[in-house]
Amino acid sequence: MLAPAKKKQLVLIGGGHAHIQVLKRFAMKPLSDMAITLISDRDVGIYSGMVPGLIAGSYQAEELQIDLVPLAALAGARFVRDAATSIQTTERQITLGSRPPINYDIVSLNLGAPIAGADLPGVREFALPTRPIAKLTDALGSLDKRVAQGEPDAPVVVVGGGAGGVEIAFCVAARLASGGVKVRLIAASSRLLPDRARAVADAVMAAARTRGIDIVLGQRVTSVSENQLGLQSGEHMPHRGVCWTVGVTGPEWFADSQLPVDAGGFVLTDSFLRVVGHSNVFAAGDCATLQEHPELPKAGVYAVRQGPVLADNLRARANRTALKRYEPQQDYLGLLDLGDGTAIGTKWGQVRQGRWVMRLKRRIDRAFIKNFQALDSEGRVQPSFRKLFEMDEEMSCGGCAAKLPAQSLERALRNVAGSDAEHLGSADSTVLLGLDLADDAAAYRTSSGDIVVRSVDVFKAFSDDSYVVGQVAAMNAISDLYACGATPRHALALLSLPEHESPRHNEATLSEVLAGARVVFAHEGVHLLGGHTTIASELSVGFSVDGSIDEESQLLRLDAMVPGNALVLTKALGTGTLLLADRLGRARASDRAALYSSMLRSNGPAAALAVKTQLVAATDVSGFGLAYHLHEMVAKSGVSATLYLSRLPLLPGTASLMQDGLRSSAHPFNSQVGAKLRVDDAARQHPVLPTLYDPQTSGGLIIALPQAQAKDFVNQLHELGDPSAAVIGEAMSSEPPTLRISV
Ligand SMILES: Cc1cc2nc3c(=O)[nH]c(=O)nc-3n(C[C@H](O)[C@H](O)[C@H](O)COP(=O)(O)OP(=O)(O)OC[C@H]3O[C@@H](n4cnc5c(N)ncnc54)[C@H](O)[C@@H]3O)c2cc1C
């Protein structure tokens, strides 16, 4: 049989106006035989056309945000949240801010451009820059604060007389109108909007006069201090807040990246949006200058129009077919939001103004952004995206969901125990935790009397982002030791790399996995000593880990629960559902961020607290789901327990995804334990019931401890950084030992 073709790597850097279109097009028509990666320093892209409206208060922030996480997933692209810091075209490698380099075969840049003049004295400290545009939208609150604290007679100053400066001046004036704050626009040019027709500038000047906006032309700002602007003329001018909108410059790191740049530092492209002299490097939007049209302004409309051509050309380059020429539009419909429900529109030298122009602008902007907002603010699929979300019901999940069902494991262990009990540890006095108990880890005493706790945990990669997979696998493996109260010390890596990938690709994957794991191990005080790799059908990652414990009495056992215990869960549930949602493009960026932050939160502090508390039982929640592990505690401790569904902490997004019927592939097996539970009638209909069977990757601990200490224990967990830790039930004496599920 022929091995599948090795996949080439297409890397998109930046989630700008052109790349969102590339992603959407690849979602609609997949790019075969290419693995796609999107590198973005932010989870969301901002549609700049609506930013002035946000400033004026006519939009909410989420209305102009494009969540890159579902968009990338729909395009089959792995999403790497990091900043690119250079490109080595000879090695075909991209270096990143906080993780190992990424290799590419084809790379495309659409990463905007930083604000010019940021190095002038005081600009970084005292002015609000309008690029990166997301920084502007994040910082609006700080402008309000600054204005409130400033000198009452001083104006808010907008520096820059281009379209951005004009819109910001009008929209800031609208934002602050009720406070009677003055707004002044200062520009170095002798007229406003130097790249637009004179009639537009005249219309803007007239509109400024009627709104009391002061326009100062021919003055260059050379410095900013807390309350004053320094001008080239030597004069100083008071202010109570500065917006810096003076145009853009090329990203600094282009110069170190073997890329051809123009005098402004922007990468030079030919008419196929290909970087000059590099057949496999493309660029679009503000970061690039078209060699044939250096005069084109840096405006989102060009990035938007370049998007479809870029998508076609990336596909053509991958398939080695002919590229398309990009012809820039000769003029475009310029629409300036005046912040008060009116706008000025201009094309081919004609100027129109009024409320109808603003209505037109709103309609155009809303129609554009709808094309890229796959999920609404509640995480529901937007109607226009439904077709793209036809989900693959057969998709098997990675992470801890990719396990042998608990029942198969139990049967296999019973068979072995029946045939050879002597070698399972129960007959060996040095074994403290062995197969007969099947706790989270094994523990034994060495000949010198020390107690060693050991575990191994391996899972199929749940994401194409190998760095994150390495981080989570490391945290997941040592969690078994924490669940037993041990301090982790050493780790050995166990990795299977996909046979269908090239050695170069697998080497890069290995580096990413180990780099991710090392970050976690270093934080947890664990030394990675070695490991073993093998070739298999897909990537799986795991670690064999060992740790120590001072006294046998410190071992946290799962069979030590007693009547009167409260049951505490240290992390919210939902990782199985959310990991699946992430692969299907159904996870919002904020849900994904909460998911990763939970999986990467150490169970160490909770375990240390449990060891200190004494008289506790513990286990960690794994791929078998909460119900299975709690049932194990009940059965092995010989006590009954009640679990309250209404008290279960859930990760954001989990409830609505589950209500939509999303279930991990491990869910059917995990829910078989339901037959052993006593589920109250009311609980059977409860929407949270399915989360009991959701497989958890790097899940929390269940800790059983005396009721009287539970409240204080949970408060301490909150202080230690487990915000969702909660008391979820209690243990009691009743025969036979039963796990009851109540609402
Ligand atoms: C207030 C204001 C209003 C504007 N209004 C309009 C308008 O109405 N019409 C118009 O045509 N233009 C407008 N513009 C200009 C417009 O914002 C830009 O021209 C446009 O955003 C450029 O788009 P882009 O796709 O090149 O990059 P961007 O939209 O800037 O996107 C770049 C993306 O790349 C990411 N990124 C950056 N560096 C890295 C890195 N090293 N690694 C990974 N990711 C990175 C960024 O976080 C960002 O998500 C306005 C500008 C301002 C300031």
429 CA from centroid of ligand 1 (Å): 67
Q: Which value, in Å, is the radius of gyration of the alpha carbons in the chain? A: 30
Question: Once rounded to an integer, what is the mean pLDDT over residues 330-354?
Answer: 91
C-alpha to C-alpha distance for 197 and 656, rounded to whole angstroms = 51
Reported confidence tier of residue 393, pLDDT bands at 50, 70, 90: very low
In this structure, which residue's CA is closest to atom 16 in ligand 1? 300
Using the atom order of ligand 1, give the atom closest to the CA of residue 299. 19
How much distance in Å is there from the Cα of 299 to the middle of ligand 1?
8
Are the CB atoms for 361 and 540 separated by under 8 Å? no
Q: Whose CA is nearest to atom 6 of ligand 1?
A: 49
Give the distance (Å) from ligand 1 centre to CA of residue 33: 30
pLDDT of residue 2: 39
- DSSP calls for 600-624: TS-SHHHHHHHHHH-S-EEEE--TT
Residue 412 has pLDDT above 80, yes or no: no
Residue of minimum CA distance from atom 38 in ligand 1 = 111
User: Does the pLDDT of residue 455 top 80, yes or no?
Assistant: yes
Task: Give strand pairing partners of 430.
Answer: none
Given a cut of 70, is residue 334 above it in pLDDT? Answer: yes
Q: How many CB atoms lie within 10 A of CB 387?
A: 9
- Confidence (pLDDT) at 126: 93
Mean pLDDT of 46-67: 94
Distance 362 CA to ligand 1 centre (A): 19
Percent of the chain whose predicted confidence (pLDDT) is above 70 = 94
Ligand 1 shell residues, CB under 6 Å: 13-18, 39-42, 45, 48-49, 51-52, 83-84, 110-112, 130, 132-134, 164, 167-168, 245, 285-287, 298-301, 303
pLDDT of residue 395: 60
Instruction: Quickly list H helices, 244-384.
Output: 300-319, 355-370
Rounded-to-integer distance, Cα 275 and Cα 442, Å: 57
How many Å apart are CA 363 and CA 45, to the nearest integer? 20
Q: How confident is the model at residue 117 (pLDDT cuts 50, 70, 90)?
A: very high
Task: Read off the pTM.
Answer: 0.87
Average pLDDT, the chain: 91
* Of 620, 469, 492, the residue nearest 544 (C-alpha): 492
Instruction: Report which ligand 1 atom has the smallest distance to the Cα of 253.
Output: 41
Q: Are 618 and 607 in contact (CB under 8 A)?
A: yes
Instruction: For residue range 133-160, list pLDDT tens digits in order.
Output: 888 888 888 888 888 888 888 999 999 9
Nearest atom of ligand 1 to the alpha carbon of 85: 41
Is the pLDDT score of 404 beyond 80? no
The pLDDT value recorded for residue 554 is 87
Q: Residue 133 CA: which ligand 1 atom is closest? A: 53
Mean pLDDT of 279-292: 97
Whose CA is closest to atom 18 on ligand 1?
A: 300
What residue owns the CA closest to ligand 1's atom 27?
A: 112
Å from CA of 300 to ligand 1 middle = 7
Whose CA is closest to atom 17 on ligand 1? 48
Count CA atoms within 13 Å of residue 515 on its CB side. 16
Give the Cα separation of 725 and 15 in Å (integer): 35
Confidence band for 426, pLDDT divided at 50, 70 and 90: low
What pLDDT does 185 receive?
98
SS3 586: coil
Q: Measure 289 CA to ligand 1 centroid, in angstroms.
A: 15
Q: Summarize pLDDT for 237-280 with one digit per residue, the tens.
A: 999 999 999 999 999 999 888 899 999 999 999 999 999 999 99
Ligand 1 midpoint to CA 173 (Å): 23
Question: Exposed (0-12), middle (13-18) or buried (19+): which is 563, by Cβ within 10 Å?
Answer: middle
Of 402 and 282, more confident: 282
Residue 77 above 90 pLDDT? yes
Q: What's residue 363's pLDDT? A: 96
Secondary structure of the chain: what % helix, strand, coil (to 5)?
35, 25, 40
Pick from 409-418, 499-508, 515-524, 649-658: least confident: 409-418
Residue 136 CA, ligand 1 centroid: distance in Å: 11
Angle at 619 between CA 605 and CA 562, to 5 degrees: 105
Instruction: Judge contact between 507 and 462, C-beta under 8 A.
Output: no
Domains delineated in the chain: 8-41+82-113+250-330 (3.50.50.60), 115-247+333-390 (3.50.50.100), 440-555 (3.30.1330.10), 557-743 (3.90.650.10)
Question: Would you call 514 helix, strand, or coil by DSSP?
Answer: helix
- Give pLDDT tens digits for 688-713: 999 999 999 999 999 999 999 999 99
Residue 284 alpha carbon, nearest atom of ligand 1: 26
Give the separation between CA 110 and CA 288, rounded to whole angstroms. 8
pLDDT at res. 145: 87
**Is pLDDT at 407 greater than 80 in this prediction?**
no
Candidate of 67, 130, 133 to mutate for ligand 1, largest count of ligand atoms within 8 Å of Cβ: 133
Instruction: For ligand 1, atom 45, name the residue with the nearest CA.
Output: 14
How far, in Å, CA of 7 to CA of 428, rounded?
51
CA distance 86 to 595: 29
39 token code pair: 């590198």
- Residue 660: helix, strand or coil by DSSP? coil
What would the mean pLDDT of 170-196 be, rounded to a whole number? 92
- At 374, give phi and psi (nearest 5°): -70, -35
How far apart (Å, rounded) are the C-alpha atoms in residues 499 and 495? 12
**Position 6 confidence tier, pLDDT thresholds 50, 70, 90:** low
| pLDDT attached to residue 531 | 93
Res 401: pLDDT: 67
pLDDT > 60? residue 422: no
- Look at residue 7 and tell me whether its pLDDT is greater than 50: yes
Q: Which of 254, 251, 223, 228 is nearest to 241 (CA)?
A: 228
Q: Residue 434 has what DSSP assignment?
A: -
CA 198 / ligand 1 centre spacing (Å):
26
- The atom of ligand 1 lying closest to the CA of 285 is 26
Q: How far is CA 384 from CA 39, 77, 221, 225, 583, in A?
A: 26, 20, 47, 49, 19
What pLDDT, on the 0 to 100 scale, is given for residue 3? 43
Residues noted as catalytic: 400
Closest C-alpha residue for ligand 1 atom 5: 49
